[in-house]
Structure 1
Amino acid sequence: MNRALWYPSEERIMHANMTRYMYFLKEHYGLDFKNYDELYIWSISKRADFWATLWNFFDIKASPYETILENPDNMLESKWFQGARLNFAENLLQFKNGTALIFKGENQEIVRITYKTLFEQVARLSQSLRNAGVTVHDRVVGFMPNMIETVTAMLATSSLGAIWSSCSPDFGTKGVLDRFGQIEPKILFTANGYSYKGKKIDSLSKISGILEKLPTIEQVIVIPYTESDVSLPSAVEYEDFLSKSQNLPFEELPFDHPLYILYTSGTTGVPKCMVHGQGGTLLQHLKELILHTDLKREDTIFYFTTCGWMMWNWLISSLAVGSTVVLFDGNPFYPHPGALFQLAEDTGITIFGTSAKYLAEIEKAGVNPGNEYDLHTLKAILSTGSPLSVESFEYVYKYIKNDVQLSSISGGSDIISCFALGNPINPVYAGELQCRGLGMKVEVFDENGKSMTGEKGELVCTASFPSQPIYFWKDDNKEKYQNAYFDVYPNVWLHGDFAEITSNNGVIIYGRSDATLNPGGVRIGTADIYREVESFPEIQDSIVIGQNWINDVRVILFVKLREGIHLTDDLVNRIKKSIWENCSPRHVPSKIIAVTDIPYTISGKKVEIAVRKIVESKPVYNRDALANPKALDLYKDMKELQD
């Protein structure tokens, strides 16, 4: 059992939203739960009742529903809250007082806007979109930095019942077209550029190439961000596009009306377009933000993300709580490795979200945020993107703050939310996600489809939930949807994570299932190896794959060394010894090879599968989905892998 690093105080438990919800259940429904485990078991055994209580607890702004759950035993065909009508944007714009958004761009002053101003801006833009012919079900897209106008555009779009989709401006032209080209948008929002590592990067040249291949675009709106020049033929500047009307009627729409289109990574083929409904997204996000993250009206929440990652959608739902949302555009290490903690100090962030990779990098850079910055407001740190190592857990409590709820969270764009995440009334154990999410019947299956605890296997979900995709784009017979999640275990969502449910009822994620290694026929996760390798100060980064070799699979470890370091026999032997002693003999790489770069997706995930395909001389599709696609060429035809 991993050791506990943090226990919530009695006062913290008493004032937690999770505790308040349990009191609510006792007072209004006569349900008395002594702890989270009891609450969780009820939430998955009485799913319809559970989600209905959340509807009332959160006071969703909507008309009454007729049924809570139809087709409960069919994950593909379940229908939630039929008959109810609501508007997502209306639920996020209920508050009129307080600061709604804080924006910080590289080399720019902090900008703050109130809920009142945000409402007025959304109203003006909504009317402008209506005047431009945008109606229910039309697609409006953003090729935008993470800035206030992006949030405004999304809310204006959803106020009309149109569908919002976005790509980060660091996507290549092909990557954007692979996504937007499928959904045929009517309106495109873009900034004229974005900032990264102190450099201003032009976006308009990309937009010209994108527009040539997107004939459905009827209007382009350009926000002047990096320069005052927004010259683009047939485009209109944002301020000129805005209507003067501040009247904001909201289209009242069904619970499962489409809200967002998100995309798979696209590294194994053309990205699949997942359509998420407004009601399921709202209800699930409120559950995770209010109950699991303990978000309150007075909180200031931040997540380091781009607009091309689902964490952006998740973050913006915090507006429904009336909290202050902090947006950041730029490189998290610019102008120095502690830049995000400086932002936390300057804006009074209480909930700080980032990636496991970021925490590992600042540890290696020797950043001591607890000593270097005033973090007295900070009460929680969230991490996602990849498994958070035990060492990173310990680093947070030793060098950032010893009294924070550290929530490693895991889910995906597929569900626009989490399967496992934090819990403000339970301890934090090193290396573990605190709990499975309420209402999410998450299990770990062995190779025979049998549920197990304390063993590694496939993470699955065995019952439907409101934030499943309502459908895949242009997938009328649901063939893509079926094949994506349900083709291994009938009527069971196979998520693709290699995981374990612990004796603490927490969850450990060992990596992606398709990236697991099988030396000698035994499955092992990549996270164990990364944990050992990246503890070496000589190693800046690494990636591990399984190479098919003489009727077996051998483990190959690629390492990116720090400047001035060479891969000596001594370093190789020390790495292998550490893996042998702390993982197992099966984890020990057959070969350790130095490379100059490690390929990542734009959202910061290592691409083990793409590297394995290159090593095996197989094609890799959609390289534009990668942040550094040229890095893949380093792994082609390696002499070291020929023997």
Structure 2
Amino acid sequence: MAKKLWEPNAQRIEQANLTPFIKDVNQKQGLDLKDFFDLHQWSVDNISDFWAAIWEYGGVIHSAPYDKVIDVPEKMPGARWFPGARLNFAENLLKRRDDHPALVFKPEQGQTRSVTYRELYDQVARLAATLKKLGVAAGDRVAGFLPNMPETVAAMLAAASLGAIWSSCSPDFGFQGVMDRFGQIEPKVLFCADGYFYNGKTFDSLEKASLITQEIKSIKKVIVVPYTTENPKAELIPQAMSWAEALGTGDTPELEFVQLPFEHPLYILYSSGTTGVPKCMVHGAGNVLLMHIKELGLQTDLKPEDRIFYFTTCGWMMWNWLVSSLAFGATLLLFDGSPFYPDPGVLWRFAQDEGMTIFGTSARYLAAVENAGYKPGKECDLTALKAVLSTGSPLSEESFEFVYRDIKSDLCLSSISGGSDLVGCFAAGNPIGPVHAGQLQARCLGMAVQAWDMSGKPLIGEKGELVCTKPWVTMPIKFWNDPKGEKYQAAYFDVFPNIWHHGDFIEITPENGVIVYGRSDATLNPGGVRIGTAEIYRQVENLGEIEDSLVVGQEWQGDVRVVLFIKLNEGAILDEELIKTIKTTIRKNATPRHVPAKIIAVDDIPYTISGKKVELAVRNVIHGREVKNKDALANPQALDLYDGLDELSD
């Protein structure tokens, strides 16, 4: 049995959003569901009734009701959701229009500032009027090349109010990385800031924006947001319009929320782009709204009085997820910059100062805070904090222990896992259930997630492929520039026909939790036995000498051998004693098959801009294969460290 680290008390269960939701389902359906897992089983057995209940729970504002919940539910892909319904995504996020804070922004440099719901509505109305004058209409693309700041939220909502499709990249993307994304979707208007701050330095964005505008001929106007300077010099961009000009003066214009079909496109998100040109995944407005109402309201327990934070950029789907918190009338806490500048406590002081109740971040960040020796619970007053969310990569058992030991003993630690493919999660939190070390608490409601072996047999307590056997509301509507759906089909449905195959290697535990072992395509296969990379990281990165690591399989003498790259902490040396310690630790706590054949010290570990290790890119480098789209990486120069290593030739 897995170690139980926390469980909610009776008062917390009683006050959770899930509790009245379960009671309501029981009353209306004549059921006797006892807990979250009963509710989950009902939700996947009765997907139409479940998503209708989410529509009602979310109080969806609409101008026309739906004819049915789902059309052709047996079809994957191809099921269609809530035909007949007409609504507007932005209208549902701007229900609240009072002086309650909607957004609180802490930049790396400068003062924290706040935007009320009333002020946000005013900004959105003004921007929407300007976009309309620029010819933006339903179906047009509007792109954001922006930091995670209030203006980004306002720009997205203005585009959505008109039925335009929003897509964003963070400003630290390289020129080619932006072109690989925006170049495919041909936006009509581009929002960009003059620059951004990171790790104590100021970076210019206008030169890159000028090059982007020269290359993408569809861009008619570039709206420039002042951030690093008061009056940006945008002379490089002939199509430039200032933020102040875009807002205009005088009375607030009337904000018309264009009413559109439920599945009208809202967002275009992108795959990581580390193995080819990024896939452009199109997501519908009503689809995203219902998915996030479910995940935020029921599985994160978000309430209007909450102050929710996620450490993210606008190039990661967690930004889209966070913004949907506006539908609950909650306060979004935004941060842009380095989470370690000027020291490891910057985000925790933000949590303290703003009374943060929900702290979202990546597994990598939590491991880095622990590695830095920083103890947030000792250094800061985190009385208000009720939940910590973690995603991006598997959260180790040691990080679970760190959260409860050094952050706060009484909170719900929800490791969550999903992707841009669904703008949401396959597995996430359960606020009325226990937390077990190393496990995601539960499969998400309405998601028929299973672990399968390659013959299609469901597994419990064994590792298998993450599949979803029934449609859910945020399956992509389509891929951009994929008229016959061939790329879409190949991405998810070629392994198991009519079954979504996600490409994660997971285990459904006896406690009904989920363990994620990494990506299937990065899974190691020595001697024909499949090993998840997370199983090795968990052992290695707990050693004091090691700051970070990356493991790949090298094709060798007709088999695959495990190669472990390690980044050492300052002062540590990879000598025979440390190699022995690493191998003994892995052998003792995993299996002999997990023990690497080679252990090699490197100066850096490559990551995507959204904070994921790029095992596949490193595997390609050590095999002499081309790595495409290096602009998708936060530190592409790191790949050079893996090229032509003598240690891999014997």
Tell me, yes or no, whether TM beats 0.5.
yes
How big is the shift at 1:96? 1.5
How big is the shift at 1:30? 2.7
CA distance in 2, matches of 1:228, 1:12: 46
Residue equivalent to 2:221: 219
From 302, 325, 328, give the equivalent of 2:332: 325
Residue equivalent to 1:160: 162
Say whether 1:474 aligns with 2:481: yes
Residue equivalent to 1:191: 193
How big is the shift at 1:246? 2.9
Residue equivalent to 1:291: 298
Residue equivalent to 2:598: 591
- Kindly indicate whether the alpha-carbon contact (under 8 Å) linking 1:24 and 1:57 is maintained by their aligned counterparts in 2: no
Residue equivalent to 1:130: 132
How big is the shift at 1:32? 2.4
Residue equivalent to 2:56: 56
Residue equivalent to 1:74: 75
How big is the shift at 1:410? 0.1
Residue equivalent to 2:247: 242
Aligned residue identity for 1:351: I
- Kindly indicate whether the alpha-carbon contact (under 8 Å) linking 1:127 and 1:243 is maintained by their aligned counterparts in 2: no
How big is the shift at 1:37? 1.4
CA distance in 2, matches of 1:205, 1:397: 45
How big is the shift at 1:315? 0.1
Matched position secondary structure for 1:249: coil
Bigger drift between 241-250 and 527-536 goes to: 241-250
Aligned residue identity for 1:347: E
Aligned residue identity for 1:66: D
Matched position secondary structure for 2:283: strand
Matched position secondary structure for 1:82: coil
Alignment of 1:10-21 (within 5 A): 10-21=10-21
How big is the shift at 1:520? 0.6
Say whether 1:46 aligns with 2:46: yes
Matched position secondary structure for 2:458: coil
CA distance in 1, matches of 2:310, 2:6: 22
Matched position secondary structure for 1:541: strand
Q: Deviations over 1:185-214 (max 9, x none)?
A: 000000000000111111111112111211
Matched position secondary structure for 1:67: coil
Matched position secondary structure for 2:69: strand
Aligned residue identity for 2:192: T
Bigger drift between 199-208 and 606-615 goes to: 199-208
CA distance in 2, matches of 1:106, 1:79: 43
How big is the shift at 1:2? 1.1
Aligned residue identity for 2:13: I
Bigger drift between 608-617 and 29-38 goes to: 29-38
Aligned residue identity for 2:50: F
Residue equivalent to 1:347: 354
CA distance in 1, matches of 2:464, 2:540: 23
CA distance in 2, matches of 1:106, 1:35: 42
Residue equivalent to 2:282: 275
Alignment of 1:65-464 (within 5 A): 65-97=66-98, 98-232=100-234, 233-234=237-238, 235-244=240-249, 245-464=252-471
CA distance in 2, matches of 1:497, 1:27: 37
Matched position secondary structure for 2:82: strand
CA distance in 2, matches of 1:251, 1:24: 32
CA distance in 1, matches of 2:174, 2:254: 38
How big is the shift at 1:446? 0.6
Q: Deviations over 1:64-118 (max 9, x none)?
A: 1011111101111100100000000000000022110000001211101110110
How big is the shift at 1:60? 0.7
CA distance in 1, matches of 2:208, 2:133: 27
> Between the two proteins, what is the percent identity of the paired residues?
60
Unmatched 5+ stretches in structure 2: none
Matched position secondary structure for 2:517: strand
How big is the shift at 1:228? 2.4
- Kindly indicate whether the alpha-carbon contact (under 8 Å) linking 1:297 and 1:321 is maintained by their aligned counterparts in 2: yes
From 528, 533, 536, give the equivalent of 2:543: 536
CA distance in 2, matches of 1:54, 1:215: 42
How big is the shift at 1:172? 0.1
CA distance in 1, matches of 2:514, 2:641: 35
Q: Deviations over 1:318-373 (max 9, x none)?
A: 00000000010000011110110000001110000000001001101111111110
Say whether 1:549 aligns with 2:556: yes
CA distance in 2, matches of 1:427, 1:357: 23
TM-score w.r.t. length of structure 2? 0.98
Unmatched 5+ stretches in structure 1: none
Alignment of 1:599-638 (within 5 A): 599-638=606-645
Matched position secondary structure for 1:554: strand
Residue equivalent to 1:7: 7
Matched position secondary structure for 2:33: coil
Matched position secondary structure for 1:499: strand
Bigger drift between 136-145 and 63-72 goes to: 63-72
Aligned residue identity for 1:466: V
Aligned residue identity for 2:71: E
Aligned residue identity for 2:140: D
- Kindly indicate whether the alpha-carbon contact (under 8 Å) linking 2:567 and 2:601 is maintained by their aligned counterparts in 1: yes
How big is the shift at 1:558? 0.4
Q: Deviations over 1:445-488 (max 9, x none)?
A: 01211111100010110100011100000111110100000000
Bigger drift between 60-69 and 415-424 goes to: 60-69
- Kindly indicate whether the alpha-carbon contact (under 8 Å) linking 2:586 and 2:592 is maintained by their aligned counterparts in 1: yes
Matched position secondary structure for 1:57: helix
From 532, 541, 552, give the equivalent of 1:525: 532
Alignment of 1:463-502 (within 5 A): 463-502=470-509
Matched position secondary structure for 1:95: coil
CA distance in 2, matches of 1:307, 1:241: 21
CA distance in 1, matches of 2:494, 2:75: 14
- Kindly indicate whether the alpha-carbon contact (under 8 Å) linking 2:126 and 2:246 is maintained by their aligned counterparts in 1: no
CA distance in 2, matches of 1:28, 1:160: 36
Q: How many residues align?
A: 643
